[in-house]
Amino acid sequence: MLLIENFINGSYCAPLDSTYLDNVNPATGIVISKIPRSNKKDIDLAVQSAQAAFPNWSASSQESRFLILNKIAEGIESHLNELALAETNDTGKAISHSRQIDIPRAASNFRFFATAAMQFASESHDMPKRAINYTLRQPIGIVGCISPWNLPLYLFTWKIAPALATGNCVIAKPSELSPTTAFLLGKICKEAGLPDGVLNIIQGYGTEVGEAIIQHPDIKAISFTGGTKTGKHIATQVASKFKKLSLELGGKNPCLVFADCDYEQTLKQVVRLAFSNSGQICLCGSRILIEERIYEQFKKDFIAKVDKMLPSDPLDPDCKMGSLISNEHLNKVLNYIELAKEEGGSILSGGTQIKLSGRCEGGSFIKPCVIEGLGPDCRTNMEEIFGPVVTLQSFKTDEQALELANCSQYGLASSIWTTNLNRAHRLAEQIQTGIVWINCWLLRDLRTPFGGLNNSGVGREGGYEAMRFFTEPKNICINYNSNL
């Protein structure tokens, strides 16, 4: 059985207390590896190694960082099959998803921020005939990156790459439910020439080792992606320590379908945005709002498609939908479906646990679920379920659509499906989400600001937003007027 280790100071090592956790493949229910149950002592060791590495790394040239980050991207690509298999075995997601989306995107993250290191520039502010100010953007020092299980290496690298590109040393923690690709990344970084101590990857429980990261006085910034409840806890903990904080949290994303949409294309894309990765993407649409004129027809056609979707063995190359992340999460999703019924909702499709035979008989599979008959204020429509569960609601006017869309404590992403460009622009301006897709979903340009409002988080990732987050701006004012 694979024994996963921490990666500290450029070497793999056992947790200092020698305690381990089981890592279960959720598609089979079988333990596939042991992972370190690290704690504060391991974080202290990682911080020491990062402190030793920081002076040289922060002073290294942009070009040398560019070359190393690019090599890491190449290393990820050359280990595509191994990483994709590890991602699927940890999470139960379809192997095609790991191969075509998760792992290629992890490589793109490194390549993108390698280039950003070369292009990043700071501002200058001229005071005519008196002085010039210029802004130095310096690395923060040691930063903590904490990521979730749904897109493991994809989101892990989305944080680590800009932190490294800007000259910081990193203490990073993946979810204990998806440890393997982060573990493998250590070796890839070492082979790419990343100096020892610059990236330290520590495994274990969020409440133990994650907590040690956020509490550590020498870790000056925290970049966190995960649930809103955890984000709230972290925000309260780090506020009094004045750490820089970026929070990418949950969502309850609306999808607005208008009668004048490109019908077939919209139908296909709404199925995709609802159920990709079994609905376990923070950007998935979970509240489908449909204009009344086409509600019945759209519902019928949508359900016909969803009825045909069956989860299967994620290692099957033709698998479109694998298992959920764990049995515990499956029970949470099933409980929400029961709640929806208690709240008066009707189940139009799926929503039941699926038992597969053979290799996957112990897996956590569920048939995608479509619910109607619930108003915007019920818990099913207010709380993030983070599974393959969507509700359908109808609206008559643009104003009603907007009201329903904005009736949420979350504000991460939305999508608008219409061929009326005026309406699309008008609604996009008024909708309260950090990201709005018009006639598309998950179309990502890595230069754009990424993040949400309200319960969906604070701050933005992506492009120069991430480069700015991981640097401390310092204004330097030079007087050139001797009469001042």
- Which residues sit at the interface with ligand NDP, rule CB under 6 A? 146-150, 155, 173, 175-177, 205-207, 210-211, 214, 225-227, 230, 233-234, 248-251, 282, 384, 386, 412, 452, 457
Which residue number, 227 or 373, has a Cβ lying nearer to ligand NDP?
227
Residue 178 Cβ vs ligand NDP, minimum distance, rounded to whole Å: 8
Tell me the catalytic residues. Answer: 248, 282
Which residue number, 312 or 408, has a Cβ lying nearer to ligand NDP?
408
Residue 65's φ and ψ, nearest 5 degrees, are: -65, -40
Q: Which two tokens stand for residue 191?
A: 């082979």
Residue 282 Cβ vs ligand NDP, minimum distance, rounded to whole Å: 3
Which residue number, 419 or 448, has a Cβ lying nearer to ligand NDP?
448
Which residue number, 102 or 211, has a Cβ lying nearer to ligand NDP?
211
DSSP string of 150-215, one letter each residue? SSHHHHHHHHHHHHHHTT-EEEEE--TTS-HHHHHHHHHHHHTTPPTTSEEE--S-IIIIIHHHHH
- CA gyration radius, the chain: 23
Measured distance CA(359)–CA(182) in Å, rounded: 26
- Do 445 and 405 contact (CB within 8 A), yes or no? no
- Give the HSE-up count for residue 353: Cα atoms under 13 Å, Cβ half-sphere: 18
Residue 329 Cβ vs ligand NDP, minimum distance, rounded to whole Å: 8
Residue 214 Cβ vs ligand NDP, minimum distance, rounded to whole Å: 5
Q: Beta strand pairing status for 410-411 and 365-366?
A: unpaired
Residue 66 Cβ vs ligand NDP, minimum distance, rounded to whole Å: 26
Which residue number, 221 or 401, has a Cβ lying nearer to ligand NDP?
221
Q: What is the 3-state secondary structure (H, E, C) of 293-353?
A: HHHHHHHHHHHHHHHCCCCCCCCCCCCCCCCCCCHHHHHHHHHHHHHHHHCCCEEEECCCE
Give the residue closest to ligand NDP by C-beta. Answer: 206
Which residue number, 251 or 463, has a Cβ lying nearer to ligand NDP?
251
Q: Closest Cα partner for 237 from 219, 249, 263, 255?
A: 219
Q: How many CB atoms lie within 10 A of CB 62?
A: 16
Residue 122 Cβ vs ligand NDP, minimum distance, rounded to whole Å: 27
How many residues are present in the chain?
484
Measured distance CA(53)–CA(38) in Å, rounded: 22
